[in-house]
Amino acid sequence: MAAPVLIIDFGSQVTQLIARRVREAGVYCEIVPFHKSDAAIAAHKPQAIILSGGPASVMEDGAPKAPQAVFDAHVPVLGICYGEMAMAQQLGGKVEGGHHREFGRSDIRIEKDSPLLAGLGAIGDREPVWMNHGDKITAIPPGFSVVATSEHSPYAIIADEARGLYGIQFHPEVAHTPRGATMLKNFVLNIAGIKPEWNMRAFREHEIAKIRAQVGKGKVICGLSGGVDSSVAAVLIHEAIGDQLTCIFVDTGLMRAGEADEVVALFKNHYNIPLIHAQAQELFLGRLAGVTDPEDKRKTIGATFIDVFDEEAHKLGNVEFLA
């Protein structure tokens, strides 16, 4: 699935929240690490790019940079925190190592109307946001203007609206910026002009079509644990290819009382998915007898699971895909 929005990740702990906010706005997006973003931009041809925050300082030797392809793509770009610093520095502005680290709640003052702040306050109004930065922009690049300021950040929001370039010093993706989701929504829907057409139904239909195209008439086996990941995968694959899928549930004897029976009943009786219930409780407990080190236990369980799964898979024969 081509991603209308690419999020270039500079290592922020909350990059996944950016993706969540964009998807909540009805727009599909993908996260790519900064060092792989050239290829991702070429492959996806995004309609907008977001540069995430990150723990580094742009002043450090070897600090991550946005690839030139970001600015050559001629699509709207939003830099968040570190992303704003990197964009400002790379486009001709000046950044200094922070003399005052700004962390926590702050208020920005709106200095200029901007489509990024549509539906928020008027000029002069204040908006609560969440700051977390050490570097400081001391001069903005040519073509940029100041949209909002804070007590310690004279460039809390900057914009070159002719080129669709925006920088935000705070984190709009976190709950501590109450109307940050509105800013991100404004960016992807109003500034980038992307239609809010993505939802889980569309994603499901796309993935089912993708599975059918890849598998064809082949057989698939799926290791089923009863957890969220394998359960969702099993149901989705079965919707796509029906009984070409066989699930293998390895019963280790280590689940809660009655839980294994619940898994078997759910997938065999409710979802009608072909299921092999490999009852290997005695094998697992025997191999774990006397093992006290947690890491050794983990390795023993993993190796035993593979042994049992492989044995059951070979009994099926002619299996082309492992889910």
Please write down the HEC assignment for all residues of the chain. Answer: CCCCEEEEECCCCCHHHHHHHHHHCCCCEEEEEHHHHHHHHHHHCCCEEEECCCCCCCCCCCCCCCCHHHHHCCCCEEEECHHHHHHHHHCCCEEECCCCCEEEEEEEEECCCCHHHCCCCCCCCEEEEEEEECCEEEECCCCCEEEEECCCCCCCEEEECCCCEEEECCCCCCCCCCCHHHHHHHHHHHHCCCCCCCCHHHHHHHHHHHHHHHHCCCCEEEEECCCHHHHHHHHHHHHHHHHHEEEEEEECCCCCCCHHHHHHHHHHHHCCCCEEEEECHHHHHHHHCCCCCHHHHHHHHHHHHHHHHHHHHHHHCCCCEEC
Mark whether 171 is an active-site residue. yes
Q: Which of 133, 171, 238, 277 is catalytic?
A: 171
Mark whether 173 is an active-site residue. yes
Q: Which of 29, 81, 222, 247 is catalytic?
A: 81
Q: Which of 84, 102, 127, 173 is catalytic?
A: 173
Residues identified as active-site? 81, 171, 173
